[in-house]
Structure 1
Amino acid sequence: MSDDLRIERSGAVATLVLDRPGSHNAIRLAMYEELPHLIEEIAADPDVKVLVVRGAGRKAFAAGADISEFQEVRGDAAGARSYNERVAGAERALGALRKPTIAMVHGYCIGGGCGLALACDLRFADERARLAITPAKLGLVYSLESTKRLVDLVGPSRAKWMLMSGKQLDAGTALRVGLVDEVTSPDDLEAHTYDFAELLTTRAQFSVRAGKEIIGRVVAGQTEEDEATLDLRNSSFDTSDYAEGVRAFLDKRSPAFTWS
């Protein structure tokens, strides 16, 4: 297990911390290898409803992959293929988590760090945040999966601008083009992120997770209802949370949802 990743829990919100502040939380291969196992742990924990992903400290979410490892772990084609498979596996595991995920972006969010942030459902950033994807600076090619996540958020033209140039976007530009969802002051980012995460824990979790799944299907190209999406919609009427939501509305009170 890598010592550079840790899980913190506070009520129904868990936090996955990239914990290498001395290197701006640069991501080592061992971290990519460990991340899917930690995601499995979060997925299996019924008490966790939302996951926040962040870097340690306030200078960086992650400054990218740890390039100091590249000659050792990515020095030839075979090593590069193995490395790329582990990066893809980490991002895929994060993206596939049924529970909502929020990337909390302080400062630098570059390269592999941006890849992890893109795999989250939402991205909240501070005003000093700088985001970039930099394969063109290293002679690399970004994966199709990661490129699709980028295109889905910012569109093909802006994705080309980012991938071809490797230039950094400031927080305001990232918000304008859809790369991040909300921007706050550095002092307010943590409270704002966790307030929103706590809000999500109060919502009907069947609805939250079903909504995430259906949006994923739409992004993947599905345009018509099928048996799976109809089952999601119809199954909601059988949940205790649906009955509670209706009662709470009629009683003019906040609902107390219990499904997890």
Structure 2
Amino acid sequence: MPGQLKVDEPADGVRRLTISNPTKRNALDHPILDAIAAAVQAADADGVRALLLTGEDGMFSSGYDIGDIPADVFPQEAEKLVAHPFTGALDALDACDVPVVAALPGHTIGGGLELALGCDLRIAADDIKLGMPPAKLGLVYSHTGLRRFIDAVGVARTRELFLLGSYIDAPRAEAWGLVNRVVPAGDLPAAGLEWAEQLAAGAPLSVRGNKQVIRALLAAEGDVAADVAAELIDLRKACFVSDDFREGVSAFAEKRRPQWQGR
């Protein structure tokens, strides 16, 4: 069964987007990612003043939904999921002038963490874990995704997240600047909504204008050269057809130590 994105409006001017894929720990599949992109793109035209992105059943998201892809089409389908609907959702968040707060009620892993990082503000329950497992899956992460983490937490902490692949707790994530605030788990729904209501109550021209300025300042750091970007994209694509990536995903799903082959 595919997951779904539940949409409601819990307060004036606030639209809440809830990731719901309970049998897969809220893994991000095509329907969810396409729905996030569409909902974010529609927010401005619909007069929404703030978006609240969260997850159902005590989980934000475990990342990409690649565990059940058949072996014979695994490289193509895994790359397609990560490169297209996921990028589409992130691009929509990046381009959105409406402020977005992510409320993280549970573990926030891999692509789920990057999705949260694509939001303007993040508030986390105090008992959750956050992490990036590419080193444990055989995955080369996108250079645009790595840039997002470097901008947020710096080079040293990005290296720790991606090269060690270990999880960090919410207080440490707050100290790093990966999340803005940590609250007791039972207080998270109300705290996330409170922030969304504050965003919605702000002067729209000011909130949106300042968001645009921040976006422009980040972009002013400059893109990598086209030929370098092409090389980095090819490097990433190569990982999707590697034996190690397939082994990493299988080992993760089976909760065993992977047997790397280096190819």
Given residue 79 of structure 1, which amino acid in structure 2 is its aligned partner? E
Q: Which residue of 1 aligns with 2:228?
A: none
- Partners of 2:3 and 2:29 within 8 A in 1: no
Q: Provide the residue aligned with 1:82 in structure 2.
A: 80
Cα deviation 1:28-83 (Å, max 9, x = unaligned): 1332233222222223211x10001000122x10112223233369612x434422
C-alpha contact (below 8 Å) 2:66/2:78 kept by paired residues: no
State the number of aligned residues: 219
Which residue of the partner structure matches residue 8 of structure 1? 8
Aligned residue type for 2:52: V
In 2, distance between residues paired with 1:141 and 1:43? 34
* More relative contact order, 1 or 2 (CA 8 Å, 6+ apart): 2
d(CA) in 1 for partners of 2:85 and 2:71?
15
| Structure 1 position 28 matched with structure 2 position 46 | no
Q: Give the superposition deviation at 1:22.
A: 3.0
Q: Please give the per-residue CA displacement for 1:195-231, whole angstroms capped at 9, x wherever unaligned.
A: 12111222110110000010111112269xxxxxxxx
Q: TM-score, normalised by structure 1?
A: 0.79
Tell me the alpha carbon deviations over residues 139-187 of structure 1, each in whole angstroms, 9 at most, x when there is no partner: 1111122111111111011001101111111001000011000000011
How much identity, in percent, do the aligned residues show? Answer: 33
Partner of 1:140: 139
Matches within 5 A, 1:101-116: 101-116=100-115
- The 1:150/1:70 distance shift into structure 2, 3 A limit, reads farther
- Runs (5+) with no aligned partner, structure 1: 224-260
- Does the aligned pair in 1 maintain the 2:19–2:54 contact within 8 Å? yes
Does structure 2 retain, via aligned residues, the 8 Å contact 1:21–1:55?
A: no
Unaligned runs of 5+ in 2: 223-263
Code of the residue aligned with 1:7 in structure 2: it is: V
Find the residue that maps to 1:70 and give its secondary structure: coil
Judge which range, 22-31 or 103-112, deviates more: 22-31
| Pairwise CA RMSD | 1.9
Distance, in Å, in 2 between the alignment partners of 1:17 and 1:171 is 20
Distance in 2, matches of 1:72 and 1:96, equals 35
Residue 87 of structure 1, CA deviation: 1.4
Distance in 1 (CA, whole Å) between partners of 2:72 and 2:34 is 13
Higher-Rg structure is 1
Residues 19 and 26 in structure 2, CA contact (< 8 A), matched pair in contact too: yes
1:197 aligns with 2:196: yes
Note closer, same or farther for the CA distance 1:91–1:127 as it changes in structure 2 (3 Å cut).
Answer: same
Contact 2:69 2:77 in 1 (8 A): no
Q: Structure 1 residues 73 and 163, CA, compared in 2 at 3 Å: closer, same or farther?
A: farther
Which consecutive segments of 4 or more residues in structure 1 shift more than 4 A?
none
Quick check: 2:101–2:195 contact (8 Å CA) kept in 1?
no
